[in-house]
Structure 1
Amino acid sequence: MRTSIRTVAVTTTAVSLALLGTACSGDKAGDSGKGSAAPSASATSEAPAAKALSAAELEKLIVEQADLPGHQVQKAKATDVVKSEAVVTDKASCKPLADALAFIAAGDPAASVQRKAIEVPKKTGSPEDALGALAAPVTSVTLGSYDGQGAQEALASLKASGTDCAGGFGVTSSGEKVKVTKVAPETVTAGDEALAWTVTSDVDGEPFVTKLVVFRKGNTLASFSSFSLAGTVKELPKAIVDAQAKKLG
Structure 2
Amino acid sequence: MRSTTAARTTTPGSSLVRRTAVAASALSLALLVGACGGSDDSSADSDKNSGKSGDKTKASAAAKPAADAAGATALPQAELEKLALAEGDVKNYKIAKASAADVAAGAGITTDNNACTPLIDVLGLRPTGKPGASTPLRISSVPQKPAADAPPEDALAALTSMTITAETLSSYEGQGAPEALEALRAAGKACAGGFTYTVGGEKTKVTKVAPATYTAGDEAVAYTVTTDVEGEPTTSPLVAVRKDGLVAAFVAINLGGESKQPKDLIDAQLAKLG
Q: Could you say which residue in structure 2 is the equivalent of 1:222?
A: 248
Q: Could you say which residue in structure 2 is the equivalent of 1:119?
A: 141
Structure 1 CA distance, aligned partners of 2:127 and 2:229? Answer: 25
Could you state the TM-score of these two structures normalised by the residue count of structure 1? 0.85
Does residue 11 in structure 1 map to residue 26 in structure 2? yes
- The 8 Å contact of residues 38 and 156 in structure 1, kept in 2 or not, is answered as no
CA spacing shift, 1:36–1:144, aligned 2, 3 Å: same
Please report how far the alpha carbon of residue 113 of structure 1 lies from its aligned counterpart in structure 2 after TM superposition: 0.7
Structure 2 CA distance, aligned partners of 1:17 and 1:234? Answer: 15
What do residues 38-70 of structure 1 show as CA deviations (whole Å, max 9, x unaligned)?
979xx5468533210111011110111221001
Please state whether the residue corresponding to 1:93 is helix, strand or coil: helix
Work out which of the two has the higher radius of gyration on C-alpha atoms and give 1 or 2: 2
How many residue pairs get aligned? The number is 240
Q: Could you say which residue in structure 2 is the equivalent of 1:21?
A: 36
Does residue 36 in structure 1 map to residue 60 in structure 2? yes
Structure 2 CA distance, aligned partners of 1:38 and 1:170? Answer: 31
Gaps of 5+ in 2: 1-16, 42-55
Structure 1 CA distance, aligned partners of 2:105 and 2:175? Answer: 23
RMSD of equivalent CA atoms? 2.7
Structure 2 CA distance, aligned partners of 1:233 and 1:196? Answer: 17
Q: Could you say which residue in structure 2 is the equivalent of 1:68?
A: 90
Gaps of 5+ in 1: none
Please report how far the alpha carbon of residue 106 of structure 1 lies from its aligned counterpart in structure 2 after TM superposition: 1.0
Instruction: State the identity as a percent.
Output: 42
Structure 2 CA distance, aligned partners of 1:48 and 1:200? Answer: 34
Please state whether the residue corresponding to 2:71 is helix, strand or coil: coil
Structure 1 CA distance, aligned partners of 2:103 and 2:132? Answer: 16
CA spacing shift, 1:2–1:139, aligned 2, 3 Å: same
CA spacing shift, 1:68–1:46, aligned 2, 3 Å: closer
Does residue 194 in structure 1 map to residue 220 in structure 2? yes
Structure 2 CA distance, aligned partners of 1:152 and 1:70? Answer: 32
Give the letter aligned to residue 247 of structure 1. K
- The 8 Å contact of residues 9 and 16 in structure 1, kept in 2 or not, is answered as no
CA spacing shift, 1:129–1:10, aligned 2, 3 Å: closer
Q: Could you say which residue in structure 2 is the equivalent of 1:87?
A: 109
Structure 1 CA distance, aligned partners of 2:69 and 2:240? Answer: 20
